[in-house]
Chains A and B, each alone.
Chain A
């Protein structure tokens, strides 16, 4: 049930912001501070989410095979690999490290 509540809120919220952009007069969101914030907010959220999903299990900080997988994704990004290859590298390396390390 909790999952459906979260899904419902996300559906409504994400659609509302998309529609708002098309409907509001251009001036309303054009203030420089608002624009700078909207560009930086995803940076902060994505950085925090990447770190949490790599180095934690729920409430504990851990260092496991996912760190090796993320490092592989980072190398793939530096080599300008396509999106799916980046994700694939992370998955394969994580599985390999788990298979080797138990």
Chain B
């Protein structure tokens, strides 16, 4: 209830609030997503520790990067011996999708310019999904805020606990914890493989990523694998000249 009162200060009887959802329902959905995903910080803390990242470094990543796939990609690339520039480039490319979330959210939430630099930090998959699922602006703002807050607090807390825990038990490989990273990537990837285009991109990226691994410096094969996206788009465009269906 407290969270409801502390929302964004939008007028209670704004146009559209008539068919809007009750605040309690928005808060419940937002907390559900925030808690479920926030707990995955454990997996990140553990993976980071297994990759030889210090507890402080893992916590700084969760506090300041706060976009899971990029964080996993960075520690994975560093663990594989990648140099800081290729490792950061992979993490950056994974983060570019957040720009497109921001585009849609800026119209939906209509945030004041002064608030945008703060709100930007919470523009990620989950907050976007919850905000876009709401029927009106007031609910969308509330959903974005509650999801962002719950996720941010839990993600950082569980990152710390996971990193401390993994460090305490020593050999993370003996406990199978080195499988957490790839399992996370698979779980993020699976729902994206909807059409043949996505599957073709994934298959080509897999071949490129593994094929170049033995011959190129660590981190570079992933960036080459990223070229699977434009390559498949280009091949599709050649097959059907009007291929720009959106």
Tally of B interface residues using CB under 8 Å: 103
Report the stretch among B9-17, B98-106, B135-143 that lies at the interface: B98-106
Known: A6-B88, A46-B192. A73 touches B187 (CB 8 A): yes
CB distance from A82 to the nearest CB of B (A): 7
B149 interface residue (CB < 8 Å to A)? no
Q: Digitize B95-139: 1 where CB-to-A-CB distance is under 8 Å, 0 elsewhere.
A: 111111111011100010000110111011000000000000000
Task: Give CA–CA (A40, B202) in the complex, Å.
Answer: 9
Are B84 and A94 within 8 A (Cβ)?
Answer: no
Task: Give CA–CA (A41, B220) in the complex, Å.
Answer: 15
Are A10 and B74 within 8 A (Cβ)?
Answer: yes
Classify the interface of chain B: helix, strand, loop or mixed: helix
Are B185 and A53 within 8 A (Cβ)?
Answer: yes
CB distance from B41 to the nearest CB of A (A): 10
Nearest A residue to B54, CB-CB:
A3
Known: A49-B209, A94-B176. A54 touches B182 (CB 8 A): yes
Interface positions of B (Cβ within 8 A of A): 36-37, 39-40, 42-43, 53-54, 57, 60-61, 64-67, 69-74, 76-78, 80-81, 83-85, 87-88, 90-103, 105-107, 111, 116-117, 119-121, 123-124, 173-190, 192-193, 197-198, 201-206, 208-210, 213-214, 218, 221-222, 225-230, 232-233, 244-246
Are A69 and B176 within 8 A (Cβ)?
Answer: yes
Tally of A interface residues using CB under 8 Å: 72
Chain B residues whose C-beta falls within 8 Å of the C-beta of A19 in the assembled complex:
102, 116-117, 120
Count A-B contacts at CB 8 Å. 309
Q: Digitize A25-65: 1 where CB-to-B-CB distance is under 8 Å, 0 elsewhere.
A: 01001101101111111111111111111111011110001
CB distance from A95 to the nearest CB of B (A): 3
CB distance from A84 to the nearest CB of B (A): 6
Task: Give CA–CA (A33, B205) in the complex, Å.
Answer: 19
Interface positions of A (Cβ within 8 A of B): 2-7, 9-11, 13-15, 17-24, 26, 29-30, 32-33, 35-56, 58-61, 65-66, 69-70, 73-74, 77, 82-84, 86-87, 89-96, 98
Chain A residues whose C-beta falls within 8 Å of the C-beta of B173 in the assembled complex:
98
- Known A-B contacts: A46-B186, A49-B90, A50-B185. Give 16 more (CB < 8 A): A9-B85, A11-B61, A15-B120, A17-B99, A21-B101, A23-B116, A29-B103, A45-B90, A45-B205, A45-B226, A52-B209, A69-B183, A70-B183, A73-B187, A87-B40, A98-B174
